[in-house]
Structure 1
Amino acid sequence: MPEENTEILDEICKVCSMGQEAVNLLLPKVHDDQMRTQLFSQRKTYEQTGYKARQMLEENGEEPKNETGPMKKAMLWSGVQMNTLADSSAEHIAEMMVQGTGMGIISLQQCLNDMPKSSSNARTLAENLIRKEEQTIEQLKGML
């Protein structure tokens, strides 16, 4: 597998892992049904896309290298705890998710821009995730 494909698939795994972790940390704090539904939907996207990226890596004898490590998980956990301590409203959580989702879009797009020779399968998976993330941001904007 060309190195560029591996880099893109690794980045997809990282974004999906961080996204899942964020959703899992936020769900116990959410009491608004619409927001819970949104978070469950977003988590499902992360699970499915991350699984597909890992599967594509494994088919070529690779393993994800960029999945969320313990330090990043700890930083995410503390960030979520601090940000929801005073305000765990659906509006505030929507704002947090818009920011985090935007960061994922940026890292995926930068990776695609840096890897112009990657295969269509890896690029397509990343582009599809970006599109889904953009749709998610539009839905979350309605909850702000």
Structure 2
Amino acid sequence: MNEKNYNAELLNFIYQNSQMGVDTITQLLEIAQDGDFKDHLHAQLKEYRQIHDKAAQMLEANGFTEEGLTAFEKIRTYLMINFQTLSDDSTSHIAEMLMVGSNMGVIDAIKNIRKYKDVAEADILELMEHLKKFEENNVERFKPYL
């Protein structure tokens, strides 16, 4: 696989991960009730959108095709969130769900940084590192809501 394909793979991972964040937070904003918590969700949504837009710009600038989430992935996530909040839509439970998701994002980010560190362009790796740090910060931001 050539360097361009590595770059496309990593950018599409960032694109999909941030799209999942945008979709998830948007859905949870409709469920969450605590005002302060919703402010944190809005801030998180803004950052996911910025990362998503940056990944889309980089994909386009490099002549790569955006590979967003499949309809199945979107529906599965939507249903999972609805199911998990059906019996408990408390701020604590939603914070826990977000922390689990962000921890998964950190793990995937570390794996991808290691996988592509020697083959992807530096600016793409930098965006991946930014997403990883953002996910790490998300875990810390939501601890007070547990």
- Alignment partner of 1:105 is 2:106: yes
d(CA) in 2 for partners of 1:128, 1:56: 14
Deviation for aligned residue 1:33: 1.1
Amino acid at match of 1:53: A
User: What's the CA shift for 1:130?
Assistant: 0.8
Structure 1 stretches lacking a partner, 5+ long: none
| Counterpart position of 1:45 | 47
Deviation digits for residues 89-124 of structure 1 (CA, Å, limit 9, x no counterpart): 110000000011111222222111111221110000
Let me know the Cα RMSD of the aligned residues. 1.1
Aligned-pair CA distance for 1:2? 2.1
Q: Contact 1:7/1:111 (CA < 8 Å) preserved in 2? A: no
Alignment match, 1:89? 90
Unaligned runs of 5+ in 2: none
Letter in 2 for 1:93: I
Q: Which residue number in structure 1 is paired with residue 28 of structure 2?
A: 26
1:139 aligned to 2:118?
Answer: no
Aligned residue-pair number: 143
TM-score, normalization: structure 1? 0.95
Partner Cα distance (1:103, 1:14) in 2 = 14
Three-state SS of the structure 2 residue aligned to 1:2 is helix
Q: 1:16 aligns with which of 12, 15, 18?
A: 18
Shift of 1:6: 1.2
Kept after mapping to 2: 8 A contact 1:12/1:50: yes
CA contact under 8 A between 1:49 and 1:129: conserved in structure 2? Answer: yes
Identity of aligned residues (%): 31
Matched, 1:3 2:8: no
Partner residue in 2 for 1:124:
126
**TM-score scaled to structure 2, two decimals?**
0.93
**Are 2:69 and 1:68 equivalent residues in the alignment?**
yes
Query: Which structure's relative contact order is higher, taking Cα pairs within 8 Å and 6+ residues apart?
Result: 1
Q: Which runs of 4+ in 1 moved over 4 A?
A: none
Letter in 1 for 2:83: M
